[in-house]
Chains A and B, each alone.
Chain A
């Protein structure tokens, strides 16, 4: 055998074959490491852009688009275990000067898409214009008192009071940096030409109801995108959106209904199904249902496990606290068990009149199967002898009713998109400053704890304060605590590096085909 192999007629072809095999192997390995750029990525969300002025946007679909066009001072990232951390983005370095002042030094050489520099003046303009035009910047930057420009790269943010979650708030797309030239442009006069960010993509086109197109920023200051063009197509109907990905019309489809997941998995589509930071609950009007025992009875009467498994088909997890487990400040208290007998006993103890009609209002199509969940909860309450009337309203009609507290029970969802408990608890439970405390919950101890945690710089102490606050809230039951929603996104097979974050953000910048 050895003699045969030494013959040139055998040896030379063998060497050639070996070289070819090694060559192909080397090429394949390098291709694994270097993702080929994607010419175009098409993604379908449930809704279209609601505005082209990023600072005026309040909805996730719009902010997801603009999150690729604009840059924030900080970014939320997730480690291998899925734990969040805040990473400097436009910021080179930062320090806390005192309890109410922070200094940020910006990265140099960063430019907007029109070539103008992104400097401290741009930061000042952004943080002054945002609260004027948009509800989200107003909420997120509400603690900011003044912004001082030290030099081109250095800015100081002065606060009204110590504010622990400041960095968390500076990760939100609504606090992204815009160029000074748009400072005086009102939202009503905002045009596509004013959409100038510094992000990895430039805004090319917006045709309402059809598409939004972004193109790669070839002069991006950071790592250039691997996608040359992203097309966002709004498809409101769930079935049509699923069909769009099945037929290859889109590469990614978001908000997949849970009952369609199996079909897509069977067809080898990649499904990302992760817990979000959105808690779904029912506000109880505490001025009408004043006795905490009655509110506890509501919680004991509802089988939340059944709702999650039978209605959501597992696309959620029962709430064990007012905020989702991924949020900083979350503390597992406990879920109320399903016990109709205990619920009835509590109602009897509280002498709750059986003939009192309870009005339960719900939006439709706002949250995943909101109407079905509301009907299920109403059924559970009827099963313990309560008289419940359900009213289903479209969102524009629902919000005035809910915000004026014209209900006994109202469905709501809240996403703590800063990943910090302050944003998840303060607006919803603070009795005087809670902008979404439509159930009129009032507990001065909770108010004090939330105010204290907002200013507490020590992480361990903050966690302890939030734990106490959440225990009291769960005991007081200003809500029927339901579940944390999952996010379900479907992708074409072979698509990788698409980051689906629990804060309902999709990062497509470095998407690639395997």
Chain B
């Protein structure tokens, strides 16, 4: 396990370096720059622009800027926002905390609902119940997030006055954005659960379990569901990582101050340190999440462990 971990961490280094280069390159390739955004229609005189470019390090050739930035990152200096002078790492961590809270609740709701719907759908395969549940799960991941979020606001905030429509505060501020995200993900989990369970049903060990006289409940819960959970766990883990990268549309609809919106706003204002720092943080988080998912996968699937050991039971 330690060797595996070390190998994965070593593999992460070129991924991170490549990501910085890619993101930095794309950000700088965008038309316009932060000075344009700062001044808007009041374009500064050339000498003022030159001074600002020098001050922001934008006068250097791109590759020199990249290496200066890389050196700073390695030394722990992630730079400051061009517009608010707030340290990028501090800003990102604050926004990440909000995103993390939203992700935890979204995944929890999505997993609970998705697994239950998928399980019920598989158990009642080809019945009207199955058809309804499959339709509901398809609708879940087909609905545009933006539209669904606004509908939830209209119902729960405007009509019923039960939940706040926006912002960040206590638990109640998390509910609507989490429901919005969870609807999309639970639809996919439900479909995956159903498919995975139906595949496991056809396997020999299930036939053997039934032949041994075990009850249907034990067959379904102990033999079918447990094995079907393997790909589902992987999927949920990957979704967890994706959500930790921010859900910009949902965050915009609910004015929720997460990482996604932070990066999108930085792109519109060409706040290069925040763009690169924010995306770099997301890359690191996703790499770590994928690593944890792989380790969990190895833990729950004995075949993966035994393959690594070079033997089979």
Q: What is the interface of chain A, defined by CB distance below 8 A to chain B?
A: 48-52, 56, 58-59, 135-136, 138-139, 187-191, 206-210, 233-237, 239-240, 243-244, 246-247, 249, 393-401, 403, 412, 414, 435-436
CA distance A398 to B43 in the complex (A): 13
CA distance A234 to B84 in the complex (A): 15
Contact: A210 with B32, CB < 8 Å?
no
Contact: B265 with A209, CB < 8 Å?
yes
B36 contacts the other chain (CB 8 A) = yes
Complex partner residue of A397 from B30, B84, B86, B165, CB under 8 angstroms? B30
With a cutoff of 8 Å between Cβ atoms, the chain A residues found around residue B158 in the complex are 243, 246-247
Complex partner residue of A209 from B39, B95, B154, B268, CB under 8 angstroms? B95
Nearest A residue to B158 via CB reads A246
With a cutoff of 8 Å between Cβ atoms, the chain B residues found around residue A249 in the complex are 164-167
Contact: B31 with A400, CB < 8 Å?
yes
Q: A190-B85, A435-B43 are in contact. Are A399 and B32 (CB under 8 A)?
A: yes
Binds A, one of B122-130, B190-198, B254-262: B254-262
Contact: A239 with B84, CB < 8 Å?
no
With a cutoff of 8 Å between Cβ atoms, the chain A residues found around residue B91 in the complex are 208
CA distance A304 to B253 in the complex (A): 33
Contact: B168 with A400, CB < 8 Å?
no
Complex partner residue of B80 from A188, A247, A414, CB under 8 angstroms? A188
B153 contacts the other chain (CB 8 A) = yes
With a cutoff of 8 Å between Cβ atoms, the chain B residues found around residue A243 in the complex are 153-154, 157-158, 165-166
Contact: A399 with B85, CB < 8 Å?
no
A471 to chain B, nearest CB (A): 25
With a cutoff of 8 Å between Cβ atoms, the chain B residues found around residue A138 in the complex are 42, 44, 48
CA distance A136 to B42 in the complex (A): 7
With a cutoff of 8 Å between Cβ atoms, the chain B residues found around residue A210 in the complex are 167-168, 257
With a cutoff of 8 Å between Cβ atoms, the chain A residues found around residue B31 in the complex are 393, 396-397, 400-401
CA distance A191 to B33 in the complex (A): 23
B269 contacts the other chain (CB 8 A) = yes
With a cutoff of 8 Å between Cβ atoms, the chain A residues found around residue B86 in the complex are 208
B40 contacts the other chain (CB 8 A) = yes
A364 to chain B, nearest CB (A): 11
Interface string of B2-21 (1 = CB under 8 A from A): 00000000000000000000
B37 contacts the other chain (CB 8 A) = yes
A132 to chain B, nearest CB (A): 9
With a cutoff of 8 Å between Cβ atoms, the chain B residues found around residue A403 in the complex are 41, 43
With a cutoff of 8 Å between Cβ atoms, the chain B residues found around residue A187 in the complex are 85
B282 to chain A, nearest CB (A): 16
CA distance A267 to B14 in the complex (A): 58
Contact: B164 with A247, CB < 8 Å?
yes
Q: A239-B150, A399-B41, A400-B32 are in contact. List 9 more A-B contacts (CB 8 A).
A: A49-B84, A51-B83, A190-B85, A209-B257, A240-B153, A249-B166, A249-B167, A396-B33, A396-B37
With a cutoff of 8 Å between Cβ atoms, the chain A residues found around residue B33 in the complex are 396
Contact: A235 with B255, CB < 8 Å?
yes
Interface string of B133-162 (1 = CB under 8 A from A): 000000000000000001001100110010
B252 contacts the other chain (CB 8 A) = yes
Contact: A58 with B80, CB < 8 Å?
no
Contact: B84 with A52, CB < 8 Å?
yes
Contact: A135 with B44, CB < 8 Å?
yes
With a cutoff of 8 Å between Cβ atoms, the chain B residues found around residue A136 in the complex are 42
CA distance A396 to B41 in the complex (A): 11
Complex partner residue of B157 from A208, A237, A247, A414, CB under 8 angstroms? A247
Complex partner residue of A399 from B36, B154, B164, B257, CB under 8 angstroms? B36
Contact: B41 with A436, CB < 8 Å?
yes
B212 contacts the other chain (CB 8 A) = no
Nearest A residue to B42 via CB reads A135
A37 to chain B, nearest CB (A): 24
Contact: B84 with A51, CB < 8 Å?
yes
CA distance A65 to B309 in the complex (A): 64
With a cutoff of 8 Å between Cβ atoms, the chain A residues found around residue B32 in the complex are 395-400
CA distance A397 to B267 in the complex (A): 11
Nearest B residue to A189 via CB reads B85
With a cutoff of 8 Å between Cβ atoms, the chain B residues found around residue A237 in the complex are 252-253, 255
B38 contacts the other chain (CB 8 A) = yes
Nearest B residue to A233 via CB reads B167
A451 to chain B, nearest CB (A): 20
**Which of A138, A209, A398: most chain B Cβ within 10 A?**
A209
With a cutoff of 8 Å between Cβ atoms, the chain B residues found around residue A244 in the complex are 165-166, 255
With a cutoff of 8 Å between Cβ atoms, the chain A residues found around residue B164 in the complex are 247, 249
Complex partner residue of B269 from A50, A188, A190, A206, CB under 8 angstroms? A50
B31 to chain A, nearest CB (A): 4
B160 to chain A, nearest CB (A): 10
With a cutoff of 8 Å between Cβ atoms, the chain A residues found around residue B269 in the complex are 50, 396
A414 to chain B, nearest CB (A): 7
A381 to chain B, nearest CB (A): 24
Q: A244-B165, A414-B41 are in contact. Are A396 and B30 (CB under 8 A)?
A: yes
With a cutoff of 8 Å between Cβ atoms, the chain B residues found around residue A135 in the complex are 38-40, 42, 44
With a cutoff of 8 Å between Cβ atoms, the chain B residues found around residue A247 in the complex are 157-158, 161, 164-165
15 contacts between A and B (CB under 8 A): A135-B39, A135-B42, A136-B42, A138-B42, A235-B166, A239-B153, A240-B252, A240-B255, A243-B154, A244-B165, A247-B161, A393-B31, A398-B32, A399-B32, A399-B40
B15 to chain A, nearest CB (A): 28
Nearest A residue to B156 via CB reads A247
A44 to chain B, nearest CB (A): 9
Contact: A208 with B167, CB < 8 Å?
no
Nearest A residue to B39 via CB reads A135
With a cutoff of 8 Å between Cβ atoms, the chain A residues found around residue B168 in the complex are 210
With a cutoff of 8 Å between Cβ atoms, the chain B residues found around residue A414 in the complex are 41
Contact: B257 with A396, CB < 8 Å?
no
CA distance A200 to B84 in the complex (A): 24
CA distance A215 to B253 in the complex (A): 29
Contact: A395 with B268, CB < 8 Å?
yes
CA distance A236 to B248 in the complex (A): 12
CA distance A401 to B37 in the complex (A): 13
Complex partner residue of B38 from A56, A189, A397, CB under 8 angstroms? A56
CA distance A398 to B30 in the complex (A): 11
Contact: A396 with B268, CB < 8 Å?
yes
Nearest A residue to B264 via CB reads A236
Contact: A236 with B255, CB < 8 Å?
yes
With a cutoff of 8 Å between Cβ atoms, the chain B residues found around residue A50 in the complex are 37-38, 83, 269
With a cutoff of 8 Å between Cβ atoms, the chain A residues found around residue B37 in the complex are 50, 395-396, 399
Complex partner residue of A58 from B39, B150, B261, B268, CB under 8 angstroms? B39
A57 to chain B, nearest CB (A): 9
Nearest B residue to A188 via CB reads B85
A173 to chain B, nearest CB (A): 15
A473 to chain B, nearest CB (A): 18
Q: A188-B80, A209-B265, A396-B268 are in contact. Are A52 and B85 (CB under 8 A)?
A: yes
CA distance A136 to B43 in the complex (A): 10
CA distance A8 to B95 in the complex (A): 74
CA distance A206 to B91 in the complex (A): 12
Interface string of B66-90 (1 = CB under 8 A from A): 0000000000000011111110000
Nearest A residue to B43 via CB reads A403
Contact: A240 with B84, CB < 8 Å?
no
B256 to chain A, nearest CB (A): 9
B253 to chain A, nearest CB (A): 6
CA distance A239 to B267 in the complex (A): 22
